[in-house]
A and B are shown apart, each in its own frame.
Chain A
Amino acid sequence: MIANFGFGALFITLLISIYGVVAAVYGVRKNAHEWIESARTAMLLTFPLLTLSSVSLIYLLVTGQYQVEYVALVSSKSMPIYLKVTALWGGQAGSLLFWAWLMAAFASAVTLRKWDRDRELLPWVIVVSLITLAFFLVMIIFFENPFELLWQSAAGITSSMFRPSGSLPYIPRDGNGLNPLLRHPGMIIHPPMLYLGFVSFVVPFAFAISALITGRTDDRWIRITRRWTLVAWLFLSLGLVLGSRWAYDVLGWGGYWAWDPVEIAAFMPWLSGTAFLHSVMIQEKRGMLKHWNMVLIILTYSLVIFGTFLTRSGVLSSVHAFAQSAIGPLFFVFIGVTFVTSLALLLHRWNELKGEGTMTSMLSREALFLLNNLLFMGILVICFWGVIFPLISELFTGQKVTVGPPFYQRATGPLFAGLLLLMGVAPLAAWRHSTAKTLGKAIWKPFLVSLLVLGVILFSGVRQPAAILGLWLSALVVLVTLYEFWRGANARHRKSGESLPLALWRLAGRNRRRYGGYIIHLGVVLMAIGIIGIEVFQSETQGTIPQGGEMRLGQYRMTYNSLAMWDTNDGRNVARAVVSVYKNDRYVGDLYPRRDYYYESQQPMTIPGVRSTVEDDFYVLLVDWQPISTQGATFKVFHNPLINWLWIGGWVFILGTMVAAWPDREKEPVRERSRTRMTSPKSSRATTV
């Protein structure tokens, strides 16, 4: 009953979405305002309707209605209630519904904004958003329906929405339960964040396409979507950071990022989105790069759909690809059609999108931002090619190949170093005009101090070139960024007599995007330090030791005290070891590495015992043990220096993004750039020097 209701709500949402598209186009054609308003109402309705549908599925999961195939697949009686709720996105069909639900939330929210100044964009934003939503709904309803019921007939057990003739309802006694890998707090927030990041990039794309269709080729679409883009980027970044943390805590290989195709699938829209966030600033300030920004947002949208395709179609099988199905071709066609149509629209408006600005130096901020775009695109190309090459190889030669971490590390390493260097230099460059002299004048102080830091790095015994370069560049970025804060605050302090902290506060408050951006840079650098720590300095050892025996790794010593095994009431068998950890022979604590075996899914999970400090992590995995624990157990031990800076940096990064995206109190200046354009070149130059 509830299943039918949820399905009905889905179906009505699809009809309403299609109606919205038709009404919007008709309204534009006939210049009929009421039709466009009707389309707007249709889009507004998608969210409440899909909420009904999603809540129905959650209800079915929580109440354990195992006649629903999806419920039987991803939940079981023994699961706690919060896992039953999160099982909504724990399988293929449910996660697609969840995607559509979040997409509808953004679509509905867009209709609520003030449209007075942008009336002409509204119908096309509706068309783009609802077509995307309708595509997902079609996939859910016709191919991956989470409300399908199980039926038993002479032929066996089948699933369908409506009762096949000659069959009876089939109600399993219990479900299979959620994939054990997904039973982790990180998995409760990681997928929603990632999906929110994915779906919210649809909004800037919808505005961009509307601008192309209506020929409103100024930077209005960028100004409207600036905050949407930042929010999308925030969620995507959060999703990536949480995913890394989940991998570190749950997958038990001692790392946070394995260059797995599915990780890369989420990383690619982030790369193009980051390039976009930087290059839109050039269009806002200087009226240049109009084509390029369109390309970037089209690319980001396509990569969002492509990322969903990679993870949901089963085209790659990897640790992440829990679900496989036959929806691949559909996705493929949709990506192709939207990409080609968008590019065709862009070509159609090509001449109207000519840039306005010029610049006087290859060291201007425009030039450096473009260099940043080149590096991000370079990393994107490497990622894209690395992900699809095994498919190409299989297609043409029948031979599967692996493109693994060594390839990505070697290829992207120099580009990441280049990005770090740019983060150190670009904030000091002026728009339009910077010479080696002005840039040198701005940078020499932080540069000198960074050389001191370099000395300290060398003195402390670091000899790996990659680490030396990475740490030195990180120091340079931190110094430049702090110097920028100080210079700004000090200038205000001298000019207006404000106290330094107040000056700093007001400065950051007056341009949150700029200073939020600097905080993001600081976060990135902290993350870089964590990454250098684990990538360059990680050490590991493995061995079998008897009870009371010990293992050594660097300054650490670990003794094996005991091992216990027991069954839990949620269907697990737990084997947990107790080990004591000593650093420089001083006792620092006990750790409890364990192996959970899930009876339902017959799947083992290795949960590490970790001692975590800002200096390093001591990370212990229980690999194997003898039935009689006195005979000994095998442990794998990792020493991960500086890894915590990755998570700390992640939080700073998120904080910076929130500062940048925080709504302004003052009204956004209207058509401000066109005003600057009207001023004489001489005066505009004076303001930009």
Chain B
Amino acid sequence: MKYTNWLPISLVLGLVLVFTGSAFAQDILPSDDEVNAIAKGIYCPVCENTPLDVCPTQVCAQWRELIREQLAMGWSEAQIRQYFVDQYGDRVLASPPARGLNWLVYILPPLAILSGALILFRTLRTWKKPLPAVDPGVVETNLEKDEYVARLESELRRR
């Protein structure tokens, strides 16, 4: 619903911007760096997985000019971003907004990793056996004497 309500308004706004923006063009326009800083966070609505700041197509160049004009009008980054979302949908955002089904994107990986960690911990606990009772003296001298050489040699032998 929200999408359809916004569409005509934003289209009109966009047109107004293009025309009024050109009037401001005589004044100091925002620099390429200022435009790119915002374009970096917006994804090209046409070419997939390409941020607007590096997209080489003609239409993306026009979108960058639109951002420049919006900046010249004094729009904030959030306003510009919202404009693109209203026009082209959530896909222009670098990562999905955290609402509805999109929550899954953020929740599932940590849940999977945590359950993996839990399974790992439990497995390790079942494997863990106390050290067999060995004369501590033997171990101690062994450790001190040439523990490293022995270990290394034995590992090299066993490969």
Interface residues of A (CB under 8 A from B): 252-254, 258, 260-261, 285, 288, 316-319, 355, 357-362, 366-367, 370-371, 374, 377-378, 381-382, 385-386, 389, 392-393, 396-397, 399-407, 411, 415, 430-431, 433, 438, 487-488, 491, 494-495, 507, 510-511, 513-514, 540-544, 604, 606, 624, 634, 636, 669, 672-673, 676, 681-682, 685-689
> Using Cβ atoms and an 8 Å threshold, which residues of chain A touch B73?
none
- 5 smallest CB-CB distances across A and B, nearest first, come from A542-B32, A253-B54, A404-B94, A687-B154, A401-B96
* Interface pair A406/B95, CB less than 8 Å apart: yes
Is B43 at the interface (CB under 8 A from chain A)? yes
Report the Cα distance A650→B112, complex, angstroms.
31
* Interface pair B155/A370, CB less than 8 Å apart: no
* Interface pair B48/A371, CB less than 8 Å apart: no
> Using Cβ atoms and an 8 Å threshold, which residues of chain B touch A604?
56
> Using Cβ atoms and an 8 Å threshold, which residues of chain B touch A415?
113
Please report the number of residue pairs spanning A and B whose Cβ atoms sit closer than 8 angstroms.
171
Residue of chain B at shortest CB distance from A357: B127
Shortest Cβ gap from A562 to chain B (Å): 22
With A371-B120, A374-B120, A510-B156 known as contacts, the answer to whether A543 contacts B32 (CB < 8 A) is yes
Quick one: which of B75-107 are within 8 Å of A by CB? 89-96, 100-102, 104-105
Q: Which of B51, B56, B108 has the most CB of A within 10 A?
A: B56
Interface size of B by Cβ–Cβ distance < 8 Å?
Answer: 57
* Interface pair B43/A402, CB less than 8 Å apart: yes
Residue of chain A at shortest CB distance from B61: A624
Which of A288, A406, A687 makes the CB contact (< 8 A) with B127?
A288
Report the Cα distance A602→B79, complex, angstroms.
35
Shortest Cβ gap from A246 to chain B (Å): 16
Q: Which of A438, A494, A511, A681 has the most CB of B within 10 A?
A: A511
* Interface pair A495/B56, CB less than 8 Å apart: no
Report the Cα distance A688→B150, complex, angstroms.
8
> Using Cβ atoms and an 8 Å threshold, which residues of chain A touch B146?
491
Q: 0/1 per residue, B16-44, Cβ < 8 Å to A?
A: 00000000000000011100100000010
Report the Cα distance A405→B154, complex, angstroms.
46
Shortest Cβ gap from B65 to chain A (Å): 12
Contact sample, A vs B, 7 pairs, CB 8 Å cutoff: A374-B120, A377-B116, A381-B109, A401-B96, A402-B48, A404-B43, A491-B146
> Using Cβ atoms and an 8 Å threshold, which residues of chain A touch B131?
360, 433
* Interface pair B159/A393, CB less than 8 Å apart: no
Shortest Cβ gap from B128 to chain A (Å): 6
Report the Cα distance A429→B92, complex, angstroms.
47
A-B contacts besides A401-B96, A634-B32, 11 pairs, CB < 8 Å = A253-B54, A359-B128, A360-B129, A366-B127, A370-B123, A374-B120, A385-B112, A400-B90, A491-B152, A511-B159, A541-B32
* Interface pair A403/B96, CB less than 8 Å apart: yes
With A252-B56, A288-B127, A393-B101 known as contacts, the answer to whether A687 contacts B150 (CB < 8 A) is yes
* Interface pair A382/B134, CB less than 8 Å apart: no
Report the Cα distance A511→B158, complex, angstroms.
10
Report the Cα distance A384→B142, complex, angstroms.
48
Shortest Cβ gap from A131 to chain B (Å): 31
Q: 0/1 per residue, B105-149, Cβ < 8 Å to A?
A: 100110011001100100110011111101000010011001111
With A288-B127, A359-B127, A407-B95 known as contacts, the answer to whether A689 contacts B56 (CB < 8 A) is no
